[in-house]
């Protein structure tokens, strides 16, 4: 079984979904410290041919709190503000009429009080839209007993309990995790290296690494799923 463990991000970029595509089980790492100015509650969309940062307002956000302790202010006004930005940015995109109504319904029906659940739900919504059949879990619900362990040790312990034979991490984890550490429990550690994904955005030069929302406005489900397979494991 292939496993990945990652903090929940709100409509993250394509690399997040490549990691999801590469595994059988995906655990949202929601009981670790919140990262201010990270990607948990924000990302970029395309406005006026430039990356524009959107965010979900958080109440008393602090890096001394866990992700699943951070409350959000995502009331009807904030939802409408978010959706209006998406509409203005992408109403002329080729797949706006296909994707936006579903995005609108998801946002309006969301009643999460914490950023952890809102972000995780956004990932699950996209995975369902793309037809990805994955098993999801939350570290706070099934692996809270390992919270006191050092980070690499905790990931290995979780992988062992999940009976994973392969643990896949984003390439940014190379300086933090070693194959030998996981090997002691007969677990293969792999790092996902994503290709440079490029597609047509209006008539401007390409702006990379935007939210998955951008990809789905300019590409259909089949094209997007092709992008999710454009990576290598090392």
Residues near 58 by beta carbon (within 8 Å), at least 6 away in sequence:
34, 41, 70, 71, 72, 73, 115
Task: With CA atoms as reference, report the closest residue to 27 among 186, 162, 144, 136.
Answer: 136
Q: Is the dihedral of CA 162, 167, 171, 174 positive or negative?
A: positive
Is residue 47 a contact partner of residue 85, using CB atoms and an 8 Å limit?
yes
The angle, 0 to 180 degrees and rounded to 10, between the axes of the packed helices 96-109 and 115-129 is: 150
d(CA 19, CA 111): 27
β-pairing verdict for 25-28 and 71-72 = unpaired
Residue found under tokens 């109504």 = 101
Give the up-direction half-sphere exposure of residue 46: CA atoms within 13 A in the CB hemisphere: 24
Is residue 163 a contact partner of residue 3, using CB atoms and an 8 Å limit?
no
> DSSP state, 33?
B
173-210 as b/e, with b when 16 or more CB fall inside 10 Å?
A: beeebeeeebeeeebebbbbebeebeeebeeeeebeeb
Task: With CA atoms as reference, report the closest residue to 3 among 127, 169, 191.
Answer: 169
d(CA 56, CA 84): 14
pTM: 0.97
Per-residue pLDDT of the chain (234 residues), as tens digits, is 999 999 999 999 999 999 999 999 999 999 999 999 999 999 999 999 999 999 999 999 999 999 999 999 999 999 999 999 999 999 999 999 999 999 999 999 999 999 999 999 999 999 999 999 999 999 999 999 999 999 999 999 999 999 999 999 999 999 999 999 999 999 999 999 999 999 999 987 999 999 999 999 999 999 999 999 999 999
């Amino acid at each position: 079984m292939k496993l990945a463990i990652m903090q929940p991000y709100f409509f993250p970029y394509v690399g997040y979904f490549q990691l999801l595509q590469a595994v059988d089980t995906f655990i949202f790492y929601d009981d670790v410290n919140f990262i201010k100015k990270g990607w948990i509650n924000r990302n970029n969309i395309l406005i006026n041919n430039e990356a524009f940062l959107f965010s979900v307002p958080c109440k008393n956000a602090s890096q001394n709190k866990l992700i699943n302790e951070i409350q959000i202010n995502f009331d009807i006004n904030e939802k409408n503000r978010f959706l209006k930005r998406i509409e203005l940015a992408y109403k002329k995109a080729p797949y706006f009429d296909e994707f936006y109504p579903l995005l609108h319904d998801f946002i309006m029906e969301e009643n999460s009080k914490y950023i952890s659940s809102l972000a995780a739900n956004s990932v699950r919504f996209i995975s369902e839209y793309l037809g990805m059949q994955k098993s999801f879990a939350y570290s706070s619900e099934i692996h809270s007993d390992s919270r006191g362990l050092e980070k690499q040790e905790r990931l290995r312990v979780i992988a062992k309990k999940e009976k994973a034979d392969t643990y896949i991490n984003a390439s940014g984890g190379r300086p933090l995790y070693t194959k030998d550490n996981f090997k002691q429990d007969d677990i293969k550690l792999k790092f996902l290296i994503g290709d440079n994904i490029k597609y047509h955005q209006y008539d401007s030069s390409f702006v990379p690494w935007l939210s998955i929302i951008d990809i789905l406005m300019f590409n259909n489900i089949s094209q997007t799923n092709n992008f999710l397979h454009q990576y290598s494991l090392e």
